[in-house]
Structure 1
């Protein structure tokens, strides 16, 4: 791929990779998509509100 640079150690093993920012943004967007990891809250529009409501169910005021 264009613009990717590899960093090698003294034994010829790859120790790191330098990639262009544009490629990193594309990879990062595909790598982590929080909505995939929300379970039952996946379709919720306002996750923060849903979490507050869940918390209120467990607060009992003892």
Structure 2
């Protein structure tokens, strides 16, 4: 298949990336992107297509 799983993790105020990684060790995918908010449309829906494109760019993966 050639696909990779990437989790987007919304960090609440005061949460630290390291603490989340330690808590979820062995439970999360190889790739994680930590954000303070998800990209959304004007109606408030999550822009999954934008998240996919951003993930590919950040992780330097090949797009299908």
Structure of higher CA gyration radius: 1
Query: Whose relative contact order is higher, 1 or 2, with alpha carbons under 8 Å and at least 6 apart?
Result: 2
Which category of TM-score, normalised to the shorter sequence, fits these structures? under 0.3
TM-score (normalizing by structure 1): 0.21
More helix by share: 1
TM-score by length of structure 2 reads 0.21
